[in-house]
Amino acid sequence: MANTPQAKKRIIRNAKRAEINGARISRIRSFIKKVEAACEAGDKDAAAAALKAAQPEMARGVARGVLHKNTVARKMSRLTRRVATL
């Protein structure tokens, strides 16, 4: 257990941030799943719309420091290619 007041504060803050970051990652995953589901169904219009909604969420994840920029770039690239090949 933490001994100093600063360490105790840090534990509380880390727990709060972990909850927020977890929710943000979950939200991004949900957007990605919508794109993948539309691709599986073969619906190009729905997939394109879902991708358009997912891109800013993924970029926001990078800006907030939740995801690494190369990870998001790779995922965006793969999703864009999947939608384009429909």
pLDDT in tens, 18-73: 999 999 999 999 999 999 999 999 999 999 999 999 999 999 999 999 999 999 99
Question: pTM of this prediction?
Answer: 0.87
Q: Residue 67 region, left (φ>0) first, then alpha (ψ -120 to 50), else beta?
A: beta
User: How far are the Cα atoms of 31, 60, 75 from residue 70, in angstroms, in the given order?
Assistant: 18, 14, 9
Find the mean pLDDT for residues 65-86. Answer: 96
Q: Which amino acid is at 67?
A: L
